[in-house]
């Protein structure tokens, strides 16, 4: 493989001059020398060293992104938004999967610092772990001190710009929908206890059920991994512990799809016997049977906004943008089995009211909240 010295020798210039041409240095090189260097590069099929180019340039071109798992549909959608803005601005995206391992996340922050990336974006839930929070904030502060920028998605506790999904309101919307359909025996398939996303979504749901006169005892909550198998196992445990459940909220769509599969395997009709509500509105949610009622988060937009903040070098930090959640009604949630569609009791008053007819066009329509949960 040809080296920079080979190129300089073929062009009849110094290695420094060859480097300035190849690496796009701001120092001027006359047209004749530039042409000779480029001709030598073509003849020798020279491939520049990416790390050397990074050091030679006056600005950093790569952006490091740390996600829990890019194969998870949630992070795949966020990454789409990140990539879209990065591509538009000619930036290279370096994606690191932490697999929800805090130690690995710390290692990746150090690795990306070593690569002198222009910005570090941490996407995904935070952890209920004060020692980890302190350590990662220290590493990020050291990185920012060298001119790097930090943006986080869905992380309360870290410094830097932030894009925050309104997880708590999303949980509240899911609870309101089921209570207005007459459900009182509601179970929850929650994510891992250690994640702040689980805590936020569960808190909003708990608040909504309490406001509408439906409690959420601990035996109706099952914690699982944020994936299909976790959802199926948790659904089985909930049914075995409480056969009278009429509805289940899964705190992400992958778990909700697992719950639907388990109910189908047991010949439990959805929503006639058990209603299911998901969270996130993954693309597959509209294609499962029955189509999944869920809480939508603008995941692609979250990624795009995070990248835009990370690359906006002239703006003061930190900035926080909160992106709203909304309910999407489809086919997996219906009136509680003891009620007919025309007689749904409201939780607030206990008085019967006429339910709005559920037209086919309504099932795929988004419904924004008309009220918000109380501040915590």
Whose CA is closest to 76, among 283, 258, 249, 224? 283
Statement to judge: residues 252 and 292 lie in one domain:
yes
Statement to judge: residues 198 and 82 lie in one domain:
no
Structure confidence by residue, pLDDT tens digits, 98-148: 999 999 999 999 999 988 899 999 998 999 999 999 999 999 988 888 888
Statement to judge: residues 270 and 289 lie in one domain:
yes
Tell me, yes or no, whether 359 lies in a domain: yes
Statement to judge: residues 214 and 98 lie in one domain:
no
Which CA distances in Å does 16 have to 7, 13, 33, 42, 360?
11, 8, 12, 18, 69
pLDDT at 22: 81
Statement to judge: residues 250 and 345 lie in one domain:
yes
Tell me, yes or no, whether 305 lies in a domain: no
- Tell me the pTM: 0.77
Cα torsion through 9, 11, 17, 21, rounded to 10: -130
Statement to judge: residues 150 and 183 lie in one domain:
no
Statement to judge: residues 51 and 87 lie in one domain:
no
Statement to judge: residues 130 and 272 lie in one domain:
no
The residue to which tokens 């805590």 are assigned: 199
The DSSP bridge partners found for residue 92 are: 62
Q: Cα separation of 206 and 202, whole Å?
A: 6
Statement to judge: residues 203 and 348 lie in one domain:
yes
Domain count, the chain: 3
Alpha-helical regions (H) of the chain: 4-11, 15-22, 31-44, 50-56, 73-88, 102-114, 130-145, 167-180, 196-211, 228-241, 253-265, 299-311
Statement to judge: residues 200 and 99 lie in one domain:
no
Domain ranges, residue 47: 4-56
Whose CA is closest to 367, among 183, 195, 200, 176? 176
Helix (H, G, I), strand (E, B) or coil at 336: coil
The last residue of one of the domains, among 56, 79, 98, is 56
Statement to judge: residues 127 and 174 lie in one domain:
no
Which CA distances in Å does 50 have to 10, 28, 92, 284?
21, 22, 11, 38
pLDDT digit string (tens) for the chain, length 376 residues: 788 899 999 999 998 898 888 876 667 888 899 899 999 988 998 877 655 555 444 456 899 999 999 999 999 999 999 999 999 988 999 999 999 999 999 999 999 998 889 999 999 899 999 999 999 999 998 888 888 899 999 987 888 899 999 999 999 999 999 999 999 999 999 999 999 999 999 999 999 999 999 989 999 999 999 999 999 999 999 999 999 999 999 999 999 999 999 999 999 999 999 999 999 999 999 999 999 999 999 999 999 999 999 998 767 768 999 999 999 999 999 999 975 444 443 333 333 333 333 333 333 334 434 344 544 3
CATH number of 347's domain: 3.40.50.2300
Statement to judge: residues 333 and 221 lie in one domain:
yes
Tell me, yes or no, whether 313 lies in a domain: no
């Amino acid at each position: 493989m040809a080296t920079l010295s080979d190129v300089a020798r073929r062009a009849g210039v110094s290695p420094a001059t060859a480097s300035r041409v190849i690496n796009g240095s701001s120092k001027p090189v006359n047209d004749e020398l530039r042409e000779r260097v480029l001709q030598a590069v073509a003849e020798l099929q020279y491939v520049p060293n990416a790390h050397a180019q990074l050091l030679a340039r006056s600005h950093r071109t790569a952006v490091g992104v740390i996600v829990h798992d890019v194969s998870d549909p949630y992070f795949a959608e966020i990454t789409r938004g990140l990539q879209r803005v990065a591509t538009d601005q000619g930036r290279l995206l370096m994606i690191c999967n932490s697999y929800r391992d805090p130690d690995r996340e710390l290692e990746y922050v150090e690795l990306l610092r070593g690569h002198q990336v222009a910005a570090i974006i941490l996407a995904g839930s935070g952890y209920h772990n004060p020692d980890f929070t302190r350590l990662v904030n220290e590493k990020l502060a050291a990185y920012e001190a060298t001119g790097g920028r930090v943006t986080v998605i869905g992380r309360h506790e870290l410094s830097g710009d932030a894009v925050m999904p309104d997880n708590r309101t999303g949980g509240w919307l899911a609870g309101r929908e089921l209570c207005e359909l007459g459900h009182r025996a509601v179970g929850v398939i929650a994510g891992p206890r250690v994640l702040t996303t689980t805590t936020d979504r569960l808190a909003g749901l708990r608040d909504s059920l309490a406001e509408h006169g439906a409690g959420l005892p601990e035996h109706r909550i099952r914690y699982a991994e944020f994936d299909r198998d976790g959802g199926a196992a948790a659904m089985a445990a909930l049914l075995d512990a409480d056969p009278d459940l009429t509805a289940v909220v899964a705190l992400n769509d992958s778990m909700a799809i697992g719950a639907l599969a388990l109910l189908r395997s047991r010949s439990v009709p959805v929503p006639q016997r058990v209603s299911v509500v998901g969270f996130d509105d993954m693309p597959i949610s509209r294609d499962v049977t029955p189509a999944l009622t869920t809480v939508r988060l603008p995941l692609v937009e979250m990624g795009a906004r995070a990248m835009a903040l990370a690359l906006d070098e002239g703006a003061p930090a930190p900035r926080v943008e909160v992106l709203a959640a909304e309910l999407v009604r489809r086919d997996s949630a219906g009136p509680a089995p003891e009620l007919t569609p025309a007689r749904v009791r409201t939780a607030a008053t206990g008085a019967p009211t006429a339910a709005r007819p559920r037209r086919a066009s309504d099932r795929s329509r988004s419904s924004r909240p008309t009220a918000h949960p109380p501040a915590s």
